[in-house]
């Protein structure tokens, strides 16, 4: 399995854990909610769904787009439009699929720190245990700090040979990485603060989310956060 197809499978399982969907709904959620899958097409999504069904992680259910068609005065069912009569396939997560997704959520290896994979992982942080979130965030920060160091070293070596526009592009890339590192620092501090608050709170006074361990996200003045998929690699 390629890294990109693995990310897609992870995202599909995560979305279907929230609720069953048909293919069009899935593609729309991948494009709009997660954003990192803007370039994915039906030609990519449906083979992925078939693989997940074959593995026993999803099941297909047939649902009608509309109720039974009305009958005519002669008692014959009115055909209506083709779209109104066409059945659609709804995909539902199985118990095995839920277990597999939870196993994927627990992984914190280097793949989870890469641009697109990190964005997908972050999209499902609400379903992820706190300790796993911390490891992913810290791993991502380390990866970006390594990248930033290489970018600075490269710029120092080549600065004199670059024209103004190329130099400006390099600076823009560095600023994007620096901005995400600052964002990650805020997230990590927020996670730690939430954990400390929970430990210091009287027993029974803490509130929990679906993962049981959310400390709350930092508030941003401009209500924006960096897009990991936009980083210069």
Domain ranges of the chain: 3-66+86-105, 115-230
CA-CA distance, 233 to 231, in Å (whole number)?
A: 6
pTM: predicted TM-score of the whole model, two decimal places? 0.72
Whether residue 66 contacts residue 85, with contact meaning beta carbons closer than 8 Å, is answered with yes
Task: Give me the pLDDT at residue 150, please.
Answer: 95
CATH hierarchy code of domain 3-66+86-105: 1.10.10.10
Beta bridge partners of 92: 59
**Chain-centre distance of CA 78, in angstroms?**
43
Low-confidence ranges of the chain (pLDDT < 50): 65-68, 70-78, 80-83, 204-212, 214, 219-224, 229, 232-233
Whether residue 87 contacts residue 64, with contact meaning beta carbons closer than 8 Å, is answered with yes
Whether residue 120 contacts residue 7, with contact meaning beta carbons closer than 8 Å, is answered with yes
43, containing H or E segment:
helix 42-54
Of 144, 80, 86, which is closest to residue 110 (Cα–Cα)?
144
């Amino acid at each position: 399995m390629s890294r990109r197809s693995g990310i897609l499978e992870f995202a599909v399982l995560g979305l279907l854990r929230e609720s069953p969907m048909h293919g069009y709904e899935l593609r729309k959620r991948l494009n709009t909610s997660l954003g990192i899958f803007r370039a994915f097409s039906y030609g990519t999504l449906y083979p992925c769904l078939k693989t997940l069904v074959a593995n026993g992680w999803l099941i297909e259910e047939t649902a009608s787009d509309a109720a039974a068609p009305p009958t005519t005065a002669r008692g014959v069912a009115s055909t209506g439009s083709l779209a109104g009569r066409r059945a659609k396939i709804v995909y539902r997560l199985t118990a095995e699929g839920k277990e597999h997704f939870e196993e994927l959520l627990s992984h914190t290896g280097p793949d989870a720190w890469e641009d697109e994979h990190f964005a997908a992982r972050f999209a499902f942080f609400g379903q992820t245990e706190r300790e796993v979130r911390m490891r992913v965030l810290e791993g991502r920060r380390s990866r970006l700090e390594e990248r930033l160091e290489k970018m600075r070293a490269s710029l120092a070596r080549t600065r004199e040979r670059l024209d103004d526009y190329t130099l400006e592009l390099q600076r823009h890339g560095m600023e994007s990485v620096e901005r995400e590192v600052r964002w990650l620092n805020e997230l990590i501090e927020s996670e730690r603060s939430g954990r400390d608050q929970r430990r210091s709170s009287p027993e029974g006074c803490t509130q929990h989310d679906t993962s049981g361990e959310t400390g709350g996200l930092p508030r941003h003045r401009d209500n924006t956060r960096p897009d990991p998929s936009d980083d210069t690699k």
